[in-house]
């Protein structure tokens, strides 16, 4: 792909798509969606914004919309800064992106009151958040490399 910004957008979308498979495994492993699931975040944040509690269906629809925008935008942001890491190995560069996303989300969740306090999360929930951001990072970086060869 000639346009690096289009490649970054697509890479972020592919990274987000990869999370779809992991989410089913994560939820089955935990026995429920974690506090940082897109549906729970949509329900918390948008219920306050709209001044009414969202239904499960509305929260699911908004969660899809949030993921559809968030992942590609993260990919584009990564496209702007990845020049320095593009020569690193795929796991190193991808996990760095994942750690950046993890740090951003750990800062944003309390700022936007999007989730319950992280101190109330289980160890497994913390581990799954790391796993999903690392997966997003590696898949996004792998797609960037493939698209920009």
Asked if 86 and 20 touch (Cβ cutoff 8 Å), the reply is no
- Phi and psi at 89, nearest 5°, equal -65, 155
Asked whether residue 1 carries a pLDDT value surpassing 90, the answer given is: no
Looking at residue 60, its pLDDT comes to 93
| Distance between CA atoms of residues 69 and 95, nearest Å | 21
- For the cut 90, the answer to whether the pLDDT of residue 141 exceeds it is yes
Instruction: List, for residues 110-140, the tens digit of each pLDDT value.
Output: 999 999 999 999 999 999 999 999 999 999 9
Q: Which residues contact 39 (CB under 8 A, 6 or more apart)?
A: 33, 56, 59, 60, 63
Q: What pTM was estimated for this model as a whole?
A: 0.93
CA angle 1, 13, 37 (to 5 degrees): 165
Average pLDDT over residues 79-84: 89
Domain ranges for the chain, please list them.
Answer: 4-147
Closest residue by Cα to residue 114 from 20, 35, 32, 30: 35
Q: Is pLDDT above 90 for 42? A: yes
**Region 43-64 average pLDDT:** 94
Q: Is the pLDDT of residue 83 over 90?
A: no
pLDDT at 92 over 90: yes
Give the position of tokens 């799954």: 128
d(CA 91, CA 99): 12
**Mean pLDDT (whole number) for 62-87:** 92
SS3 2: coil
Burial of 57 (0-12, 13-18, 19+ CB in 10 A): exposed
């Amino acid at each position: 792909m000639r346009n690096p910004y289009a490649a970054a957008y697509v890479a972020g979308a592919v990274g987000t798509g990869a999370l779809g498979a992991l989410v089913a495994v994560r939820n089955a492993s935990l026995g429920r969606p974690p506090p940082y699931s897109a549906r729970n975040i949509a329900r918390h944040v948008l219920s306050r914004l709209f001044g009414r509690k969202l239904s499960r269906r509305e929260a699911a629809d908004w969660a899809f919309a949030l993921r559809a925008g968030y992942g590609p935008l993260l990919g584009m942001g990564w496209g702007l800064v990845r020049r320095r890491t593009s020569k690193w190995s795929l796991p190193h560069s991808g996990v760095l992106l994942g750690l950046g996303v993890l740090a951003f989300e750990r800062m944003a969740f309390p700022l936007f009151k999007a989730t319950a306090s992280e101190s109330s999360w289980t160890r497994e929930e913390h581990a799954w958040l790391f796993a999903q951001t690392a997966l997003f990072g590696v898949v996004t970086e792998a797609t960037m490399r493939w698209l920009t060869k």
